[in-house]
C-alpha cells in the first residue's frame, strides 16, 4: 500500500512511513499495547485488514500533529469526530479528512435530526476511547457513521487506533468496508489551513 501523492507534495522530502512495519505486531507484542489499541488491532485482524496499528513517539491529538509525525499531508489524516444526536442521544461519528471542517447542517440532514458536540464523558462512554484517540472501528457501542467523500482524494489515509499515539493506514474504500458507512458530503467549503488544528474526538 503506497502513500497518496499529489503534485507538489510538501512532504516529498520526508522519510516515508514503512507500512510493512504495521503488519508485524502479534501475540505478546499486542498485549503490551494500550487496551484501546489492542481492541482496534483485534477488530482489524478479525476483518482481514492487512495493516495493524503502530505507536507514534509523540501524541497526535490533532490532524496537523498526526501529519507531522507520519510525514504525510494533513488531508490524509482520517479524523474521527463524535457528535450527539439530540433526539435519541445516539453517538454520530463523522470520519473526515484532516484538512476539512464538518458542516453540522449537512450531518443533520444525513442523520435525520439535530446534533450537538459530544463532551469527553459522552465520547468515552459510547466509543470506549478518549478524545484524541477515537478510532473509526471497534467502538463500545456502534455509532451512526458518515464518511467524508473528500477522503477519496487519496490512495492511503491514516486513522487513530484507540489512543493518541496509535494510528493505522488504510485505503478510503477500506474505511467504508470496515464501517459499512456511506460516503457523503459532510464538510464546509475548504478554507486554507482552517481545520489543521481541529482535534479529533
Question: What pLDDT, in 10s, does the model give residues 31-59?
Answer: 688 999 999 999 999 999 999 999 998 88
- Is 198 within the bounds of a domain? no
- Is 12 within the bounds of a domain? no
- Is 80 within the bounds of a domain? yes
Q: How far apart are the first and last CA of the chain?
A: 26
Q: What is the Cα–Cα distance from 60 to 200, expressed in whole angstroms?
A: 9
pLDDT single digits (tens) 72-86:
999 999 999 999 999
pLDDT of residue 190: 75
Q: Quick one: pLDDT band at residue 5, thresholds 50, 70, 90? A: very low
- Is 60 within the bounds of a domain? yes
The number of domains in the chain is 1
DSSP state of 183: E
- Is 48 within the bounds of a domain? yes
Q: Quick one: pLDDT band at residue 201, thresholds 50, 70, 90? A: low
- 61 Cβ partners below 8 Å, 6+ apart? 131, 132, 164, 199, 200
* Average pLDDT over every residue of 111-140: 97
Neighbours of 121 (CB within 10 A): 8
- Is 37 within the bounds of a domain? yes
Q: What is the Cα–Cα distance from 52 to 44, expressed in whole angstroms?
A: 7
Q: What is the CATH number of the domain that holds 131?
A: 3.90.960.10
Determine contact, residues 136/95, Cβ cutoff 8 Å.
yes
pLDDT of residue 60: 85
Compute CA 180 distance to the chain's CA centroid, rounded to the nearest angstrom.
Answer: 15
Q: Quick one: pLDDT band at residue 124, thresholds 50, 70, 90? A: very high
Residue 68 domain boundaries: 19-184
- Is 4 within the bounds of a domain? no
- Is 66 within the bounds of a domain? yes
Amino acid at each position: 500500500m503506497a502513500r497518496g501523492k499529489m503534485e507538489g507534495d510538501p512532504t516529498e522530502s520526508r522519510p516515508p512511513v514503512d507500512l510493512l512495519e504495521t503488519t508485524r505486531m502479534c501475540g505478546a507484542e499486542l498485549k503490551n499495547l494500550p487496551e484501546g489499541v489492542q481492541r482496534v488491532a483485534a477488530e482489524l485482524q478479525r476483518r482481514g485488514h492487512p495493516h495493524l496499528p503502530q505507536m507514534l513517539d509523540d501524541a497526535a491529538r490533532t490532524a496537523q500533529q498526526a501529519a507531522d509525525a507520519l510525514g504525510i499531508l494533513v488531508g490524509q489524516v482520517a479524523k474521527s469526530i463524535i457528535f450527539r444526536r439530540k433526539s435519541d442521544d445516539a453517538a454520530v461519528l463523522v470520519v473526515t479528512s484532516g484538512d476539512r471542517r464538518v458542516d453540522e447542517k449537512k450531518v443533520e440532514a444525513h442523520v435525520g435530526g439535530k446534533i450537538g458536540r459530544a463532551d469527553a464523558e459522552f465520547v468515552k462512554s459510547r466509543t470506549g476511547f478518549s478524545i484524541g484517540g477515537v478510532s473509526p472501528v471497534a467502538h463500545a457501542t456502534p455509532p451512526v457513521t458518515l464518511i467524508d467523500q473528500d477522503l477519496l482524494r487519496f490512495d492511503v489515509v491514516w486513522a487513530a487506533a484507540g489512543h493518541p499515539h496509535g494510528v493505522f493506514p488504510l485505503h478510503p474504500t477500506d474505511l467504508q468496508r470496515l464501517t459499512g458507512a456511506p460516503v457523503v458530503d459532510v464538510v464546509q467549503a475548504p478554507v486554507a489551513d482552517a481545520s489543521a488544528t481541529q482535534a479529533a474526538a
